Amino acid sequence: VLRTQFVGDEEGRHRLAREVSSLQRVRSRWVAGVVGADPWGEVPWLATRYVPGPTLHDKIVNEGVLSREEVEQLASDLAEGIADCHAVGVLHRDVKPANIIMEGRTPILIDFGLARVADDPKITVTGLLIGTPGDLPPEIAVGDPATPASDVHSWASVVAYAATGRPPFGEGNSMKLMDRARRGEHDLEGVPPVSYTHLTLPT
């Protein structure tokens, strides 16, 4: 549901309606699809398919890093899900371990609350920073508009986390994290070499 401060706000309802329209364009086995929504009800809401399982973040914290085979499967499946979104012009904009539910060994993208249709001019509002600092691509950290490459950068960050159990740009102060992303100062120690014959990157 919309947060309390947005309930009754016309722009908030229009924003939710745009998000619903964006999500309904995505058809992917790797994405939790919309099952219902009412942006104009007394309490505006959106419901997606329920995915049983822990987030990737919680799975790594509680069970440890994934094996090389599991990392490559995660990378491939998640790449396909992101590519399915991009194919219909939708950017996720907040791909991170907490927004991926592990349905068994299958990663499912959730929480498109930050999604925008790629050609929506509202994603370029000056001074608007939306996303999670440790997972933000460098262009977003410096205030440039998101592109499909932004989701690919976040995809790579997720894969590195699954392989090492560490955020590739470290932890701590948000400004420091964004500066490391901007400079490309990532820690990939422990990430296994990828078998590219088995991996298709998102476009």
- Give the catalytic positions in this structure: 94
187 sits in the region (left: phi over 0; alpha: psi -120 to 50; else beta) called: beta
3-class state of residue 192 by DSSP: coil
**Cβ of 124: how many Cβ atoms within 10 Å?**
12
| Closest among 138, 131, 143 to 178, alpha carbons compared | 138
125, burial (CB in 10 Å: exposed 0-12, middle 13-18, buried 19+): exposed
13: nearest Cα among 41, 47, 53: 41
Tokens 């088995």 belong to: 198
Q: Which residue has the tokens 């790594």?
A: 60
Distance, in Å, from the CA atom of 181 to the CA atom of 179, rounded to the nearest integer, reads 5
